[in-house]
Copies of this chain bind each other. A is one copy, B any other.
């Protein structure tokens, strides 16, 4: 602002006003030039708060300002000035003081704004009280160690706030409050005792407004854990010489057979979505890649409305040459999952804590060398418990769960392998046992009595493969490119398919697979 003679000739009052204005402009240029929160004439500190115009957020400038994360705030920063961006979680103002809980990625910190001459104006307090929940705000203030511990925030320090700007306003009325969506069963029980009325947010409301629901601390943790599971999965396999592949999801014919496929038109040809990378990952083995893995979507058009089925989920698949025995696959699998579980234990304590806060669960019990039982041994355990099953049938969900409990009691593990399944209950490409063709070189792996992995040695002989497909009533012609792959020389091999969402669900003992899928798909849900 230019100083002119005119300014000098202003009355004292007017001059003061001009000084305030000048001061404000300087402050504004330092702090993304927010729209005044109050009237200039009435608040000399109006530049310390207000809505940031969109134009300022369109990559207007690079100021070099340093930002902190809410999760990074601790006592070591005591007395330091910090700049934060997060959500307005809650606000509470009374008179000359306002408390604002700022939330970023599930972490919360209390910001206290107190009216003080030349620092915090009444206008700022009023502005904070006008902020809608979930709005994105920038807060500048000084880290402080409060005299008494703070309830209801994840960070134990607080912020003495000086400035607050709104970057993006949330609608004043939300489908539900984050506080309501974050409560545990224990909170509800306690509320009942105290005659409080808490709103329960049901699953469909959550999923219909998933973007909001995902903001709870527990959900933030669930999807970070999911990310870690894939990371450990890959890290381990890469260290063992596995090559990551990407196989097509659009395939001709009917995938692995059966009715549960999504069909579509592909430039006039009938096509479907792959039910798994099974056929192509085996073809990658026939193509000399030795050991391969893939992480990608798999599609199942099943009409299942259970707690553990989705129409689209993330498959962690691996396939490998075996020299002699399918135990070579189990050895890899065993080490792989101990690596994943150890990794989660070591790196995700905060995330596991956040989930436990809302959905308490017992930590997973697993052995350093994973228990392997044959299917026959499994049936015997059930038989000893009074449950007699068809020796060549499959286990139903109830028997699987019961067996999980019996195994836990006897071997103290939530994680184990059941192998040598009856051939009749396995896919056509499963290798029969050498000593009894009623059994197969196959296995399932369980967490807390629920299946997370299915695998087997595969049939690498094209003649046996053809006759097995025919025996299973599968249209061999639609599988010709797959079967032909074995006619040019094929190594013995085996592999597994893992359901990522199931691993996360069962590791954390969540009660529904939809909780472990960011945007779940089931027969009635195709959005958001």
A residues bordering B, Cβ < 8 Å?
Answer: 32, 54-63, 65, 67, 85, 87-88, 103-106, 132, 134-136, 167-171, 174, 210-212, 214-215, 219-220, 223-224, 226-227, 230-231, 234, 238, 243-252, 262-267, 269, 271, 273, 280, 283-284, 286-290, 295-297, 299, 301, 303, 311-312, 314, 321-327, 431-435, 441, 457, 460-461, 464, 481-482, 484-492, 500, 518-519, 521, 523-524, 526-528
Contact = CB atoms under 8 A, between A and B. Distances in A.
B325 A87 contact: no
Contact of A244 (B231, B297, B311, B312): B231
Contact of A264 (B60, B262, B490): B262
**For the complex of A and B, 9 pairs with smallest distance between CB atoms:** A214-B287, A481-B528, A170-B489, A58-B434, A264-B264, A227-B244, A59-B325, A134-B489, A211-B485
B169 A489 contact: yes
Given A244-B231, A526-B271, A528-B283, A327 B59 contact: yes
B59 A170 contact: no
A488 B250 contact: no
- For A248, A297, A325, which residue has the most chain B Cβ atoms within 10 angstroms? A248
A223 B519 contact: no
A521 B248 contact: yes
Nearest to A270: B526
Nearest to A175: B488
B104 A461 contact: no
Contacts of A284: 214, 518
A54 B458 CA distance: 12
Contacts of A326: 59
Contacts of A247: 518-519
Given A245-B518, A252-B527, 13 more contacts: A58-B432, A60-B324, A105-B290, A168-B486, A171-B488, A214-B289, A223-B243, A226-B246, A227-B245, A246-B500, A250-B312, A262-B265, A284-B518
A395 B248 CA distance: 31
Given A174-B488, A214-B288, A491-B85, A238 B245 contact: no
A362 B48 CA distance: 56
* Most chain B beta-carbon contacts within 10 A, residue among A168, A283, A284, A464: A168
A489 B87 contact: yes
Contacts of A210: 283, 287
Contacts of A271: 526
A45 B155 CA distance: 77
